[in-house]
Amino acid sequence: MSATVLSGKEPAAAIRAETAARAAELAASGTHPRLAVVVATADESSAWYVRSIARAAEKAGIACDIVDLGSDASARDIRHRLAVLSADESVHGVILQTPLPEGAKLEDLASAIAPGKDVDGANPLSLGRLAAGLPAFAPATAEAVVTVLDYHGVELTGLHVAVIGRSTVVGKPAAHLLLDRNATVTVCHSRTRDLAAVTSAADVVVAAVGRAGLITAEHVRAGAVVVDVGTNPTDDGGLVGDVDAASVAEKAGALTPVPGGVGPVTTALLLRHTVQAAAR
Amino acid sequence: MSATVLSGKEPAAAIRAETAARAAELAASGTHPRLAVVVATADESSAWYVRSIARAAEKAGIACDIVDLGSDASARDIRHRLAVLSADESVHGVILQTPLPEGAKLEDLASAIAPGKDVDGANPLSLGRLAAGLPAFAPATAEAVVTVLDYHGVELTGLHVAVIGRSTVVGKPAAHLLLDRNATVTVCHSRTRDLAAVTSAADVVVAAVGRAGLITAEHVRAGAVVVDVGTNPTDDGGLVGDVDAASVAEKAGALTPVPGGVGPVTTALLLRHTVQAAAR
């Protein structure tokens, strides 16, 4: 048995195409969608990711400003810049890139991003509104999990989904989105006892821990659907997920690849959110 | 076998005593803690609950204003009153009581409660901050679940907790508080397939659905700890939980009673939050 590959490329392409069309309409009516990405790190993989967002944005007809504050920026500098961008009418979406300088906390700083421009759902108000069932931008990675499953026809109602990882940017918002889709959701983490027993009771496993190859065949029930959110850089410049694909693919029914799974959908959703913000 | 009774009376009394002492200190220094409860319903059990809060507040040295807008109040009226109370420096805590008039939604209206006065954690920003690990008032009922378990020495780290119910006021915030305590958390609800199989895999079951007697012995593993959040009025003026106590007590290791379990702790926590808000 070998798992079906749940590619993210096709849904990402469809979202980018729809977004480009909407961006062109907005531009024709005088609104030029613009995204600002605030960076305060010298981290190489972060820089690579930000450039990939900028390229994708430009292809979709969205201007993208990379606002590099340097890795010695203070929390105060970052917060101030986020507030300035939030008040700038020509900017429709604002993202604060991680990692951040020592002592700066994403959840805290992101409260300076206006909720209407918070296209990566980083402001705690966005998370609270999401949890409360009110309109809000979800963190793009968390939304990408559900989007990939939708695209490949996984009907979530009544399924038991194990989310591994309880971060504010992925695990927790993904849990809320999955609950909204009527899945039964278990959130596991580093302190979970007998992780394999818990996750192999689930129909769907979402791995969002940030540790290469942590999830192996023993964590997955035969035929389960596995979504790999991990993007762990390898020494040779590549990217691997949290799932040990070689072993899991022999047991799971379906698996998202890394790269080419959740990642491209995440980027496409950031662009969609920016155009949605611009359309308001 | 008969389950240990996890009473809420003792922890509630301890919290009320500590709160009364703190309220007296504040009063001595010129700050008189004051709670406002906004009501827009003719519901009898709601009125009973509000009177019980007011009595408990007065005993603890906290003034309590019941602001009755009538059951025909519009969402706009309610929102306006919440904003006025939020701006009133003599008021330290603001609660919006449910049920609300047709068309008015708690999560939406509660965004008009200033986060610093949101002593029942109803503003979506409070929930988002809670989920993000930032300081915020938790909904008192959700916090009462963890408080009762703490008081009775249930060490949550590594335990598997099944929360039945995904409401914004109990199930979801309880899940976040339990995750913060390093429990593995499964959120179940009306669309969960084979609820009994899911909940009987858990070490702790938290019932927060609002249906009398829904949880029976088949939902609970032998020796499990069961927290009953339900407060369902009976025809004869009594109160019963979501748990069928007669059958569950024969199988569970421990069970919170209704009344006298989560309820009194909830009220005590509302008072504690009010005094904390006044102390700022």
Mean pLDDT of B210-233: 97
Cα separation of B186 and A161, whole Å? Answer: 9
| Contact at CB, A189 and B182, closer than 8 angstroms | yes
Neighbours of A76 (CB within 10 A): 10
Q: What's the pLDDT at B104?
A: 93
Strand partners, A35: A64, A93
Compute CA distances B238 → A259, B235, B261, whole Å: 59, 7, 15
User: In sequence order, which ranges of B90-218 are alpha helices (DSSP H)?
Assistant: 106-109, 124-131, 140-151, 171-180, 195-199
For A258, residues 6+ apart whose C-beta sits below 8 A from its C-beta are A228, A230, A231, A239, A240, A241, A243, A245
Sorting pLDDT into bands at 50, 70 and 90, what band is A1?
Answer: low
Mean pLDDT of B243-258: 98
Q: Which amino acid is at B208?
A: A
For A54, residues 6+ apart whose C-beta sits below 8 A from its C-beta are A37, A64, A66
Q: Name the residue in chain B with its Cα closest to that of A184.
A: B188
* Structural contact between residues B216 and B255, judged by C-beta atoms closer than 8 angstroms: no
Q: Is the ipTM of this complex over 0.90?
A: yes
Enumerate domains of chain A plus CATH numbers.
30-114 (3.40.50.10860), 139-262 (3.40.50.720)
Residue A15 contacts B where some CB pair is shorter than 8 Å: no
Sorting pLDDT into bands at 50, 70 and 90, what band is A45?
Answer: confident
Q: What's the pLDDT at B45?
A: 83
Among A274, A280, A269, A277, smallest CA distance to A62 is for A274
Mean pLDDT of B203-231: 97
Give yes or no for residue A61 having a pLDDT over 70.
yes
For A256, residues 6+ apart whose C-beta sits below 8 A from its C-beta are A5, A6, A7, A8, A148, A226, A227, A228, A262
Among A225, A248, A210, A60, smallest CA distance to A150 is for A225
Mean pLDDT of A37-51: 92
The DSSP call for residue B199 is H
Chain A residues inside the 8 Å CB shell of B188:
184
Per residue in A130-154, pLDDT (tens digit) is 999 999 999 999 999 999 999 999 9
Measure in Å the smallest separation between the Cα of B89 and chain A Cα atoms.
24
| Contact at CB, B192 and A107, closer than 8 angstroms | no
Cα separation of B131 and A107, whole Å? Answer: 10
| Contact at CB, B193 and A125, closer than 8 angstroms | no
Q: What's the pLDDT at A28?
A: 98
| Contact at CB, A131 and B128, closer than 8 angstroms | yes
Residue B172 contacts A where some CB pair is shorter than 8 Å: yes
| Contact at CB, A127 and B126, closer than 8 angstroms | no
How do A239-240 and A232-233 pair as beta strands?
antiparallel
Residue A276 contacts B where some CB pair is shorter than 8 Å: no
Residue B9 contacts A where some CB pair is shorter than 8 Å: no
| Contact at CB, A184 and B184, closer than 8 angstroms | no
Binding residue ranges of A for NADP(+): 165-167, 231
Mean pLDDT of B167-183: 98
Sorting pLDDT into bands at 50, 70 and 90, what band is A237?
Answer: confident
Mean pLDDT of A61-74: 97
Chain A residues inside the 8 Å CB shell of B172:
131, 176, 179
Neighbours of B44 (CB within 10 A): 10
- Rounded to 5 degrees, φ, ψ at A108 are -75, -50
Secondary structure (3-state) at B277: helix
For A202, residues 6+ apart whose C-beta sits below 8 A from its C-beta are A160, A161, A162, A186, A221, A224
* Structural contact between residues A153 and A225, judged by C-beta atoms closer than 8 angstroms: no
Radius of gyration of chain A from its Cα atoms, rounded to whole angstroms: 18
The DSSP call for residue B243 is B
Per residue in B104-114, pLDDT (tens digit) is 999 999 999 99
Strand partners, B40: none
Describe the crossing of helices A44-59 and A262-279 by its angle, rounded to 10 degrees: 50
Q: If you count residue pairs, one on A and one on B, with CB atoms under 8 Å apart, how many are there?
A: 109
Helix (H) or strand (E) holding A63: strand A63-68
Mean pLDDT of B78-94: 98
Mean pLDDT of B249-259: 98
The tokens for A113 are 């991003």
Test the A interface: residue of B96, B98, B106, B127 with most A CBs within 10 Å? B127
Give yes or no for residue B135 having a pLDDT over 90.
yes
Among B100, B97, B94, smallest CA distance to B115 is for B94
Mean pLDDT of A18-24: 98
Strand partners, A254: A4, A225
Compute CA distances B49 → A142, B190, B228, whole Å: 39, 26, 18
Q: What is the mean pLDDT of chain A?
A: 97
The tokens for B96 are 């919006």
Sorting pLDDT into bands at 50, 70 and 90, what band is B44?
Answer: confident
Mean pLDDT of A87-113: 96
Residue A34 contacts B where some CB pair is shorter than 8 Å: no
First to last CA, chain A: 48
Residue B160 contacts A where some CB pair is shorter than 8 Å: yes
Q: What's the pLDDT at B237?
A: 84
Q: What is the mean pLDDT of chain B?
A: 97
Helix (H) or strand (E) holding A187: strand A184-188
| Contact at CB, A134 and B124, closer than 8 angstroms | yes
Residue A217 contacts B where some CB pair is shorter than 8 Å: no
Q: Name the residue in chain A with its Cα closest to that of B176.
A: A172
HSE (CB half, 13 Å, CA atoms) of A165?
Answer: 24
C-alpha torsion B121→B17→B49→B65, nearest 10: -80
| Contact at CB, B128 and A123, closer than 8 angstroms | yes
Give yes or no for residue B1 having a pLDDT over 70.
no
C-alpha torsion B27→B30→B31→B34, nearest 10: 70
Residue B1 contacts A where some CB pair is shorter than 8 Å: no
How do B93-96 and B34-39 pair as beta strands?
parallel
